[in-house]
Amino acid sequence: MDIPEFFSQMALDLHTQDSTEKTVELVTRYAKSAIGCDDAGLLLVHARSRVETAAATSQRVRTSHELQLTHDEGPCLDALEGGGIYVSDDISRLG
C-alpha cells in the first residue's frame, strides 16, 4: 500500500469508530504498521501526576509504561517533557 492510500484508509477507519477507546486502539495499530515495529502504545496525559495507558498493542507495552511511571523516567516520559520522537530499538536487552 502506498503512503497516500495508507493515510486515506486510516482516516476512513478512524472516522468510523464509535468510541474514543476504539479510536485510540486503532491509532496504535496504525502506528505499529506505519513504523514497522513489534508493539505500540499511547499514553493519555491528564496532568503530569496522572498519566495512563490509553491503548497498547500488547501487555509488554502496558508493563513498560507502568515501569516508567513507577520510576518516573523513560522514553515516554522524556517525550512528554521535551517532545520529539523516541523509539526503543530492543527493550529485551534493557534491565
* CB-based contact 87:35 (threshold 8 Å): yes
Q: Which domain range does residue 55 map to? A: 3-93
Q: What is the mean pLDDT of residues 82-91?
A: 74
Residue 53, pLDDT score: 94
Secondary structure class of 43 (helix, strand, coil):
strand
Number of domains in the chain: 1
pLDDT tens for residues 64-76? 999 999 999 988 8
Closest CA to 29 of 53, 67, 55, 1: 55
* Secondary structure percentages of the chain, helix, strand, coil, to 5: 55, 15, 30
Handedness of CA 19, 10, 35, 77 (dihedral sign): negative
- Write the pLDDT tens digit of every residue in 1-51: 789 999 999 999 999 999 999 999 999 999 999 988 889 999 988 876 788
